[in-house]
Amino acid sequence: MSDELIRLRAELDALRLRAFEPSLRKIARNSGGRISHPTVKIVLSCAKLPGWELVKAVVEALGGDTDHFGALWTAAFQAERLASGSPAGLPAGRPGDAGEPAGWDVFDLAAVRRQLTSSPRFLMRSLTELRSAIEPVASFLAAERFSEAESAELVRLARRLQELGRDETFSAETAAGAAHREAYRSVDVRFHATLLRGCRNEFFRDLTGHVAVALDYRILRDRVGTGGNKPFPDAPTALSLWLHRGLAAAVRQGRCSAAEGFSRALLAEIRQGPLPESVALALEAALAHLDTDGPGWTGFVPEIRRLLDSQTWPGR
């Protein structure tokens, strides 16, 4: 038995203990008939790795965190595959797979949305990594290739995003608040879509939908922090709004490296933990090259400086 499987069994035992040690029959009843009490016994014993759907049913019946146990199950599965000399890929029905068939198409946005509904942890991590890989490069290209009309539209969207984000209605738990958050989401999606479509790279353009799906989930649903991201706050932070403004201004001014730097900072800022040193250095350079003379920039430099003065991860 691998260390990973031993840990999964121990965590299941601890979960059952926290639930006041219900009987196997009670756990089966709490599963809504998805599993029988003999199957519950097999799952809890972990004599061999149970299927994920069975583990998930037991975890849910005990009131546990399926994302946490999904990570444990995945580690145990990978260890089992490596020990047997088999490829380490995951099977259909794994955590985060939402029951998609083996070899499912990651470019199928309907399948991506289904996964986010059922188990967002793994997929939001992947979508954020995707954004971090393509958006900074798209921003660099946008500063090089955007027309005057496109760059003006990007600036307009950034200003509108800042207006919506600063409005107290954003955090209101009312119909007006919900409508306001939807307006903010729509503008944010259009901002990032404008970058990807206008950078004149057809591969980046065709990933616009994936970025939109990630933004939709983060803004409207991610209140706990998923896939290594911070929770989405009750209202957008001043820093996030200023980073959008800085990115748009850099594109309009044709500052390619500055645009890339602001984009990297924007994506790093949503992640858990301090700002990576490599991002901080790029943002420092971006700030030095951006022209912020004129009205509408009050508060910009202090917010960016506050971020740059925060703790960094050396060498990353």
pLDDT of residue 6: 92
Q: Which fold has domain 120-313?
A: Four Helix Bundle (Hemerythrin (Met), subunit A) (1.20.120)
pLDDT of residue 315: 54
Question: What are φ and ψ of residue 205, in 5° steps?
Answer: -60, -40
% of the chain beyond a pLDDT of 70: 91
- For 117, other C-beta atoms within 10 Å of its C-beta total 12
pLDDT band of 92, cuts 50, 70, 90: very low
Radius of gyration of the chain (CA): 23
Q: Name the average pLDDT for the chain.
A: 87
Q: Which residue has the higher pLDDT, 90 or 282?
A: 282
Q: Which residue has the higher pLDDT, 171 or 228?
A: 171
Q: Which fold has domain 3-84?
A: 434 Repressor (Amino-terminal Domain) (1.10.260)
Domain ranges of the chain: 3-84, 120-313
pLDDT digits (tens, 9 = 90+) for 32-68: 878 888 889 999 999 989 888 889 999 999 999 888 8
Check if 3-84 and 120-313 are the same fold. no
Instruction: Residue 215: name the closest of 200, 194, 198, 201 by CA.
Output: 194
Instruction: Residue 166: name the closest of 305, 307, 298 by CA.
Output: 298
pLDDT of residue 98: 44
% of the chain beyond a pLDDT of 90: 58
Arithmetic mean of pLDDT, 258-286: 92
Cα(76)–Cα(82) distance, integer angstroms: 10
Arithmetic mean of pLDDT, 208-233: 85
pLDDT digits (tens, 9 = 90+) for 186-213: 999 999 999 999 999 999 999 999 999 9
**Residue pair 164/187 in contact by the 8 Å Cβ criterion:** yes
Angle at 296 between CA 148 and CA 179, to 5 degrees: 85
DSSP structure class, residue 200: S
**Has this prediction a pTM greater than 0.75?**
no
